[in-house]
Structure 1
Amino acid sequence: MAGGTWKTQNKRRPGAYINVKGVAQPTSDSNLGRTLLLSNAQLNWGKKGIIELHNDSNFKELLGTTIDDPKLMALKQVLKGAETVLFLNTNDGVRASVSDPALPWKFEATYPGTKGNDISISVEKDPNNTTNITVTTLFGTEIIDEQTITTTTGNNLLANDYVTPTMTEQDNGQAKLEAISAAGSYQLKDGTTTPDKTEDLMSDAMETENYAVVTTAGYPEDSNIHALLVTTVKRLRDTEGMKIRGIIPASSSINQANYEGISVVANGLTLNDGTDLSVTNATGYFAGLSSSVDGSASLTYTEVEDAISANPRLNNDKTIAALNAGQIVFTTRPGQRVVIEQDINSLTKFTKDKPKSFSKNKVLRVLDEIATDTEQVFEQSYLGKVGNNAAGRDLFKANRVSYLQGLNDSNVIQDFSATDITVNPGEDSDAVVVDLAVKPVDAMEKLYVTINVG
């Protein structure tokens, strides 16, 4: 718990620092809410690559299992805060299938992987109406599709989310339909899983998808994937101009990221039902939440949903050490409340170009939003459309002044004036140079109080 008395305003932890002493009687298109989750879960089902998921998604259909599967714990935590999760599925291999001399169809699983071998097809002729045939698809023991066709419309059997039927013998199909008797069950087989490596898929996904935050939540803390994510985020932010942020668990594979675009989670959580979340799964919670907040808000002291304790609980010295190392810390407060101690990133070595304020995620989100909006507006409304003369540059400046004034009015930035931005011609005839000074508004985090007792 942070708090106590103060002599100078030099406290590291957010909290209230209060002195009591006696004295003489006086006379603010967005990628908001979108998280890219790099997963190591071998699910043996689903499309290879990015699968877009929401809280109401049919996870069994898309991933072959429910959201409560321990393999999807990181995903479950990300979805507590994110509106959309871009799940990077590494599944690949051979699709299960079944064909039988008695059937006019071949059935093939929608996706590759061994989970396709859990699919079976039941074909039953109605004893009271022998022209009717019911075809049922089961995934394990669960019925997931049922269609009734007639012996004259067998080629109208439709695909469902799990299998695709194909007429194998158009000429002889009619005879086979009429020859079906009673009921039969047919199990798909020979489905295999040959997963791709996340490392082979992540670069393309990170460069081409639209998202605010990317995370390696769910990977073991000692995995080299975390260091690879840091390297890729740095390249995309600094070279490609993609203002994305990465969230990783504290790990032995990377000692100190020291980068404003990377946040590192230090500890895990204990949930209300007694479940202990490892640091890597708790990282998913922070990643989802972080993707859904903009520059108008800070996550400092945000209460963690469904948690009763940090795990492990860090004492005051260890908490300060983690904060000084640029790490996100979960802290247990009175009443079994758990909060995010401080919304910071891993930047700990400050320079003229990257001052201490850059270590605050709220400030970084403001700067990223301004950069992204300016880029998008220029590309969509000015690039190739407006002349690079005084009138055209004034038009662009007016647009930016209006936007920034809106941020100022919303208390996202402060003390903005139209003189804080200049738009000038560059060295080439088609170049425009913008110089902009802004002051992001940080959140209140430390309270220093003196109570005078008369």
Structure 2
Amino acid sequence: MIQILPGTNVTVQAGERAAELVATGIVAMPFALNWGDTVTEINASDDTLYSLGYKRSDYTGAGMKLVAEVLHSADKLILYRSNTDGGVKATGTVVTGITATAKYVGTLGNDITVTVTASGESWVIKTLVGTTEIDSQIVTDESEFVANDFISVSGTGTLAAASVKLTGGTNGTPRSTEADLWLAEMEKYTFNVIAYCGSTAATITALRAFVADQRAKNNMIQAVMSGVAADNVAIYNNTVGGGPDDYDLSALEACSTIAGLVAEVGITGSLTHHQISWWTKVSPSLTHTQQETAVQSGQLIVALIYGVPTVVYDINSLVTYTDEAPKDFHKGLIMRTLDNYAMNLQKLLDTKCIGKIRNSVEGRAQIKAKVVKLTTENYLNPGYLEDFTADDVTINAGTDSDSVVATANIKVADTVDKIQITVIA
């Protein structure tokens, strides 16, 4: 702007913002359900009646107790419905020529009732699931009806008082390629933890390969399965079930619980001696010796500690230690912190440095300053790391004119998990 008159002109501009951190608290899982789309994203505060056909407090529907377990802790669930193939949508003849059809395949469609009642010269069409009214529309003829979350109406006819319960709805069955379809779909979404509550060998193999592939691409996800001695820093092997008073969970099903907990604590804390406050029981109940054996073999277990179901030790399935995977990589908190740091470092460099900073001495100094700031503000100051200084970051020119080599030496601050006390009386 050219200033003509004397005086001060002030312009407010947006300065550089801190790099946004990667999302946390998100779980991805496959479910066999009675209702719903192929993929549904559910936040912890969402009512699942309209998306899954059941309220969160209704555990009678297939898979609903597992949904509840995840969302007790996780911020968000990315749900993949694995039993749509070959399923049938429920239908019902409202009046001659007019048919109501369920939105999704599944047996929940058989619980849908459509009623038509007169209202002056118009008609009130109501949709109920069980005894719960979920939609009411006033129309003069069927063409004015707008499809809702449960039904659509087709055909032509003369509206009249009626009440029809839909029938013929069936669930589908998982295809032989369902695991591959699920994992291919999940590549489109962002999440931290992926869990599987089944025991199909092909799915377990596919999931292990998926996790390895994603981590090779610096998408540092972790998986929760049961009975899988993976010997892997990215896979938790849960082997104990339990549950609240309302239902029981096998060790396989309890992977939903553990997945939610892992997503919830992230880098902010350890699951060691973390109480599962809504559980009232564990199964099997392990002796002290059995707990020691389980931990030594890389199992994540839950036990009654002071009468409360509690995660015994926050560990992944790693049991073979090498220079590349040392013993402390066996700790869940340490690996979650390292994984989170790696992803946030990549996001910082991708969004704030690539294509924006010249590969010069001054440019590399800028990159170092950004890395130091990210590490200090988001990891050192909150206490997730210790003994970090700017000297722990080096940014050097790479072989190519447009490349740099960055190194960040960090030390995760673990929790106190073992205390030896000598009492002298």
Q: Report the AA paired with residue 217 of structure 2.
A: E
The structure whose RCO (Cα within 8 Å, separation 6+) is larger is 1
Q: Are 1:374 and 2:345 counterparts?
A: yes
Summarize the alignment of residues 55-94 of structure 1 with structure 2, pairs less than 5 Å apart: 55-67=44-56, 68-69=59-60, 71-72=62-63, 73-90=65-82, 91-92=84-85, 93-94=87-88
Task: Decide whether the 8 Å contact of 2:128 with 2:134 is kept in 1.
Answer: yes
Distance in 2 separating the partners of 1:274 and 1:164 = 35
Offset of 1:413 from its aligned partner? 0.8
Q: 1:243 aligns with which of 194, 213, 220?
A: 220
**Structure 2 portions without partners, runs of 5+:** 1-20
Q: 1:397 aligns with which of 365, 368, 393?
A: 368
Equivalence for 2:233? 260
RMSD of the alignment, in Å? 2.4
Distance in 1 separating the partners of 2:201 and 2:70 = 19
Equivalence for 1:145? 135
Task: Decide whether the 8 Å contact of 1:326 with 1:345 is kept in 2.
Answer: yes
Larger Rg computed on CA atoms: 1
Task: Decide whether the 8 Å contact of 1:37 with 1:75 is kept in 2.
Answer: no
Equivalence for 1:132? 122
Secondary structure of the equivalent of 2:294? Answer: helix
Equivalence for 2:101? 108
Offset of 1:100 from its aligned partner? 6.8
Offset of 1:396 from its aligned partner? 1.1
Distance in 2 separating the partners of 1:227 and 1:391 = 48
Offset of 1:52 from its aligned partner? 1.0
Distance 1:312 1:297, change over 3 A: same
1:230-284 CA deviation, whole Å, 9 max, x = no partner?
22212211x221110001112xxx4x2011000111211253x274321112221
Offset of 1:54 from its aligned partner? 3.1
Q: TM-score, normalised by structure 2?
A: 0.86
1:146-202 CA deviation, whole Å, 9 max, x = no partner?
212236xx5332221111235x45xxxxxx55xx44x12345455554344331322
Taking only the aligned residue pairs, the percentage that are identical comes to 27
Q: Are 1:344 and 2:318 counterparts?
A: no
Equivalence for 2:412? 440
Distance in 1 separating the partners of 2:212 and 2:286 = 30
1:61-99 CA deviation, whole Å, 9 max, x = no partner?
222334412632222211111111111112244444456
* Range with greater deviation from structure 2 (221-230 or 314-323): 221-230
Distance 1:408 1:58, change over 3 A: closer
Q: Are 1:122 and 2:115 counterparts?
A: yes
Q: Are 1:165 and 2:156 counterparts?
A: no
Q: Report the AA paired with residue 439 of structure 1.
A: K
Secondary structure of the equivalent of 1:209? Answer: coil
Secondary structure of the equivalent of 2:421? Answer: strand
Equivalence for 1:5? none
Secondary structure of the equivalent of 1:143? Answer: strand
Q: Report the AA paired with residue 311 of structure 2.
A: I
Q: Which has the higher strand share?
A: 1
Secondary structure of the equivalent of 1:203? Answer: helix
Q: Are 1:33 and 2:33 counterparts?
A: no
Q: Are 1:385 and 2:356 counterparts?
A: yes
Q: 1:305 aligns with which of 228, 252, 277?
A: 277
Distance 1:141 1:405, change over 3 A: closer
Q: Report the AA paired with residue 362 of structure 1.
A: L
Task: Decide whether the 8 Å contact of 1:37 with 1:214 is kept in 2.
Answer: yes
Task: Decide whether the 8 Å contact of 1:308 with 1:332 is kept in 2.
Answer: no
Equivalence for 1:409? 381
Q: Are 1:230 and 2:179 counterparts?
A: no
Offset of 1:380 from its aligned partner? 1.3
Distance 1:147 1:101, change over 3 A: closer
Equivalence for 1:421? 393
1:305-358 CA deviation, whole Å, 9 max, x = no partner?
122343212112211111111111112122x12211110101111111111111
Secondary structure of the equivalent of 2:280? Answer: strand
Q: 1:292 aligns with which of 260, 264, 268?
A: 264
Secondary structure of the equivalent of 1:328? Answer: coil
Distance in 2 separating the partners of 1:65 and 1:135 = 22
Task: Decide whether the 8 Å contact of 1:96 with 1:192 is kept in 2.
Answer: yes
Q: Report the AA paired with residue 269 of structure 1.
A: G
Task: Decide whether the 8 Å contact of 1:32 with 1:293 is kept in 2.
Answer: no
Q: How many residues align?
A: 397
Q: Report the AA paired with residue 194 of structure 1.
A: G
Distance 1:194 1:276, change over 3 A: closer
Secondary structure of the equivalent of 1:277? Answer: coil
1:377-417 CA deviation, whole Å, 9 max, x = no partner?
11112222222222222111101111212222221111111
Task: Decide whether the 8 Å contact of 2:48 with 2:55 is kept in 1.
Answer: yes
Q: 1:365 aligns with which of 329, 336, 352?
A: 336
Distance 1:100 1:418, change over 3 A: closer
Task: Decide whether the 8 Å contact of 2:282 with 2:309 is kept in 1.
Answer: yes
Equivalence for 2:184? 204
Task: Decide whether the 8 Å contact of 1:37 with 1:216 is kept in 2.
Answer: yes
Equivalence for 2:254? 282
Distance in 2 separating the partners of 1:107 and 1:384 = 55
Distance 1:144 1:275, change over 3 A: closer
1:190-229 CA deviation, whole Å, 9 max, x = no partner?
5554344331322213322111100012x2x465423332
**Structure 1 portions without partners, runs of 5+:** 1-28, 170-175
Distance in 2 separating the partners of 1:62 and 1:195 = 20
Distance 1:274 1:147, change over 3 A: closer
